[in-house]
Structure 1
Amino acid sequence: MNKFKRDLDEFVGESPRFKEPLKRKILSDMKKEQRPANRFADFKYAAVLMLLLTVATTFLVLNMDGNNTNPSGPAGTTDELPVLTDPDTVEEIEIFTEFTDSQEIFDFGYDGMDRGNYEYYEHPLLIDSEAYQEKEPDRGDVVIHEAEFFDGESRTVGRIVALPGETVEIVKGQIYINDRKLDTFYGQAHRRGYSTIEEYNEAMIEMNQPQNIDAMKEILSQSIESFKLGEDEVYVMGDDWFRSHQLIIKVDEIQAEVLGYYVK
């Protein structure tokens, strides 16, 4: 080591530019270069990195599974939750040519149930005021009840979509019952044969009515926060969401069941 110092002094001359502190630094750097690599430290850092990556991956997987929800459904609704169907209710309206003492003719004359073919007002309706004396209201039933109009209360027609004790939510025009999608012809927003804003706008363009484009956007994409019905309540609404009421009514406020058309 002394020889190295002497050689260094001879190389820089009698008045060296490299003072004693600089010499010590150079020697220190040389010793560091001669040290063997700390393989244990490298392994330790690699192990920590792998552990962090594993934790991050596990966190992402768990959160993806926990958030595997239907993007258009209510919070907590998973894709695997079975839909709610109504195979007993059909769109076709039954036709009657005669009636009994408990039945009467009701001339509705309003388009609140219109699905594009003048449903429930093309002909007078046959209704049964004693129907629910023998049975309970059922989902899909079309009933007579009172509703508030601009000129006061009067009888109108609506469809039962939710039953006593059920939880109802509407998300972007789709009805959910107890967090289950109501997968029926009346389970989503409707306006005279159109159930989406795209269908409605296309029809307006074909009818050369561009001023009406997007006019039904709010109706066809309507959302209503979740609410729970009482044990004596049902939720009724017309099939045409723009021209009808959406109401919670008491079961005993149902005045009659609509059986179909009355045609002489």
Structure 2
Amino acid sequence: MKHLFFIFGMCLILVACQQKEKSIVIETITDTSTLEDVPVFDSVGYSEIDYLYDAMYRGHNEYSGTLVVDKEYYIKNKFQRGEVVFFKTPKTGQKNVARVIGLPGETLEIKDGQIFINNKKLKAFYAKSMNNGISDFHTYQKMMKANGNEIIGENDWKEYFHRNLKSVVIPKNEVFILADNGWRIKDSYELGPISQDYIEGKVLGMAEDY
């Protein structure tokens, strides 16, 4: 009889553990529409911007060179997650390029390098802190060694790949933007959400003759 009670008790424990595992499953929010490849775009009718900076590199000089920018796009269109924008940095006035991550009314948080939107884990190629397309320190370390390079400021890099940001609610008419190489420029990680007035246009892609 005691043996039966023991088996029954173990079954209850297993069921409880399974229920607990189910209860901690993290919901996700997915961006499947944003393309990883940078489109080549005909600039006729749009603005051309020379942007020789590596804030958006993911390994193939992405968004570096002559960019095609639609400066009137957001007059008629709403911001969408994943879009790349040309913006003026508050206070400094420096022009830069970054990606729209959070939209008005959303709550954004970064935990251990991973972006969360409204407590849901963002699933997208840009959803984690990365450098040149690499989103974890060990892979970055191997790549650097394979290329015969030393990592300067190893602890800083470890901290960057595992960086955290307390939850922030994005106000109306503001957006949260991050560069794919977030350590290279001042973006919303440092500045917080920025007014849409600072967004000067949507980056459509690279000019055909770049």
- Name whichever structure is richer in helix by fraction: 1
- When residues 204 and 117 of structure 1 are mapped into structure 2, their CA distance, relative to the original with a 3 A threshold, is same
How far off its partner does 1:192 sit?
A: 1.0
The answer for the alignment partner of 1:165 in structure 2 is 105
- Corresponding residue SS for 2:93: strand
- When residues 145 and 80 of structure 1 are mapped into structure 2, their CA distance, relative to the original with a 3 A threshold, is closer
- Name whichever structure is richer in strand by fraction: 2
1:217 and 2:163 correspond: no
TM-score, length of structure 2 as denominator length: 0.83
- When residues 223 and 203 of structure 1 are mapped into structure 2, their CA distance, relative to the original with a 3 A threshold, is same
Please identify, of 83-92 and 205-214, the stretch whose mean Cα deviation from structure 2 is larger. Answer: 205-214
The answer for the alignment partner of 1:139 in structure 2 is 81
The answer for the alignment partner of 1:20 in structure 2 is none
Letter in 2 for 1:129: K
TM-score, length of structure 1 as denominator length: 0.67
Runs of 4+ in 1 over 4 A off after TM superposition: 57-69
Contact residue 162 and residue 234 of structure 1 kept, 8 A: yes
Contact residue 113 and residue 244 of structure 1 kept, 8 A: no
Aligned pairs for 1:107-118 within 5 A: 107-118=50-61
- When residues 211 and 176 of structure 1 are mapped into structure 2, their CA distance, relative to the original with a 3 A threshold, is closer
C-alpha distance in 1, partners of 2:59/2:29?
25
The two structures, once aligned, show a CA RMSD in angstroms of 2.5
The answer for the alignment partner of 2:71 in structure 1 is 129
Letter in 2 for 1:115: R
> Which 5+ residue runs of structure 2 have no aligned equivalent?
none
- When residues 256 and 173 of structure 1 are mapped into structure 2, their CA distance, relative to the original with a 3 A threshold, is same
1:253 and 2:198 correspond: yes
C-alpha distance in 2, partners of 1:239/1:216?
15
How far off its partner does 1:67 sit?
A: 7.6
C-alpha distance in 2, partners of 1:253/1:232?
11
C-alpha distance in 2, partners of 1:171/1:135?
31
> Which 5+ residue runs of structure 1 have no aligned equivalent?
1-45, 70-77
Task: Kindly name which structure, 1 or 2, has the bigger radius of gyration based on alpha carbons.
Answer: 1
Flag the structure with more relative contact order, 1 or 2, with Cα contacts below 8 A and sequence separation at least 6: 2
Contact residue 162 and residue 235 of structure 1 kept, 8 A: yes
1:176 and 2:116 correspond: yes
